[in-house]
Amino acid sequence: MDFSASSKLFELAKKIIPGGVNSPVRACRSVGCDPVFIARASGSTLWDADGNEYVDFVSSWGPMIVGHAHPEIVAAVSLAAASGTSFGAPTPKEIDLASMVVEALPSIEKVRFVNSGTEATMSAVRLARGYTGRKVVIKFDGCYHGHADSFLVKAGSGVLTLGIPGSPGVPEDIVKHTVSIPYNDVSVMERTLRDKVLDIACVIVEPIAGNMGCVPPQPGFLEKLRELTSELGIVLIFDEVITGFRLGYGGAQHYYNILPDLTCLGKIIGGGLPVGAYGGKAEIMNLVAPDGPVYQAGTLSGNPLAMAAGIATLKILQKPGFYEQLNAKADRFADELRGVAKRTGMDVRLNRVESMMTSFFTKEPVTHFESAMHADTKRYAQHYRQMLNGGIYLAPSQFEVAFISAAQSDDDLEKTLKMTEWSFKKLLEK
């Protein structure tokens, strides 16, 4: 493929944007190539600045569950834009989307919209501290909750991809109030939560880790976490920025039948526009200003374009059979991917929960951060480049999730399987 236009754009971008990108993983450094610059998208397909065409498995990192430029979403956003793009005042659409979120997620009685997943998690932690009067946040190794200071300890996503051990600019006084423990390790979790020296306000967790690759919770892990936090008066926060409305209409909490105290949302609830939200028990949410003393604000929060896109997206997800068809498609594709690995003799562990999946280049099961670190990142980088040249757009990091969307056709998936088999064989030649 010819990438000359993207290469020129990247050189220009590096002169005026740090790293040439507005989010670090997009620079593609971990996969040994320059990024392609996307010009447009429709359904399951992306086209870059050179006119190259790709089957998309990044899905804008999760939101495009119904595909790109879905006509119903485009129409809703266009109609909203024609009436004004921002008012800095309440709008009816905020109530409409909030009502849909409250109805969908049984743990949420009240919800506040923000502009990103980072804002949602940051605000939820502040609220948990305000509610409990305690300081310490417990998170899990390899889980990523945005780039707020409190969360950059042993974080996933770009921090993990780039091998950055936290971040300069984060004061030690803030970091000392964050404790990161192994994901899926019940004994360490219980010992930590019962430590009376720690002044634990909350535990924040991705119910399915999606930022060290797809790593599902082991049986009993989330159940024990809910049991302990309830017993010890610790606020349990589910970060469902990825899993919310992805596994099913009720998110991971419905999927696993576990109700957190607070939930963070993003991605799908904005239909691809910038959005985030946090919500939960009214008793806790009533502490948010102006009803209570915990301050959080945002000029563009509840933006009418994002609200319109979110409403239109959730209406599509409510259609009968949507998730059944999506998850059945993902199930078939995963089975066929495993078959490709077996036929070629490639050491790959495919982790999957419904339409989220990651192929780890390792022999070992991947159940936590340490086992994810055994994946062969160099082999993934070569696989990424080979697939890109074959018209398949994967995440430019071993430690991210591939998403199945409703827009992907049987032909898209068949093309992907054929390219995967070719790529695996090519990798094994060396």
Residue 29: pLDDT band by 50, 70, 90 thresholds? Answer: very high
Asked if 181 and 174 touch (Cβ cutoff 8 Å), the reply is no
Catalytic residue, chosen from 54, 144, 256, 393, is 144
Closest alpha carbon to 277 in 288, 267, 266 = 266
Is the CA virtual torsion 217, 210, 245, 95 positive or negative? Answer: positive
Which of helix, strand or coil describes residue 257? coil
Helix axes 186-193, 221-232, angle to 10 degrees: 10
Sheet of strand 200-205, all strands in order from the earlier edge strand to the far edge: 110-114, 276-280, 262-266, 235-239, 200-205, 136-140, 178-181
Q: Catalytic: which of 56, 239, 261, 412?
A: 239
The CATH homologous superfamily to which domain 4-69+321-428 belongs is: Aspartate Aminotransferase, domain 1 (3.90.1150.10)
Distance separating alpha carbons of residues 242 and 125, to the nearest angstrom: 18
Coil, helix or strand for 167?
A: coil
Reduce the DSSP state of residue 105 to 3 states and report it. coil
The correct answer on CATH 3.40.50.980 for the domain covering 71-317 is no
Listed in sequence order, the residues at least 6 apart from 32 whose beta carbon sits closer than 8 Å to its beta carbon are 381, 382, 385
Picking from 267, 192, 185, 259, the residue whose alpha carbon sits closest to that of residue 227 is: 259
Closest alpha carbon to 202 in 257, 133, 296 = 133
The model's confidence at residue 358, banded by pLDDT at 50, 70 and 90, is very high
The position carrying tokens 């506040």 is 112
Buried b (16+ CB within 10 A) or exposed e, 352-390: bbbbbbbbbbbeeebbbbebbbebbbebbbbbbbbbbeb
The amino acid present at 168, given as its one-letter code, is P
Question: The pTM is what?
Answer: 0.94
Domain spans in the chain, listed from the N-terminal domain onward: 4-69+321-428, 71-317
CA 391 from centroid of its chain's CA atoms: 23
Let me know if 267 is a catalytic residue: yes
How far, in Å, CA of 51 to CA of 374, rounded? 36
- Is 173 a known active-site residue? no
The answer for residues whose C-beta is within 8 angstroms of residue 342's C-beta and 6 or more apart is none
Q: Are 261 and 100 in contact (CB under 8 A)?
A: no
Q: Is 255 exposed, middle or buried (0-12, 13-18, 19+ CB in 10 A)?
A: middle
Cα-Cα-Cα-Cα dihedral sign, residues 128, 131, 137, 138: negative
Compare 157 and 413 and report the one with higher pLDDT: 413
Residue 384 has pLDDT above 80, yes or no: yes
Q: Residue 191 burial (CB < 10 Å; 0-12/13-18/19+)? A: exposed
Residue 56 has pLDDT above 90, yes or no: yes
Q: Look over the chain and give the mean of its residue pLDDT values, rounded to a whole number.
A: 94
Residue range 222-244, pLDDT digits in tens? 999 999 999 999 999 999 999 99
CA–CA distance, 155 with 140 (Å, rounded to integer)? 8
248 touches 323 (CB < 8 A) = yes
pLDDT in tens, 286-340: 999 999 999 999 999 999 999 999 999 999 999 999 999 999 999 999 999 999 9
Active-site position among 267, 278, 323, 393: 267
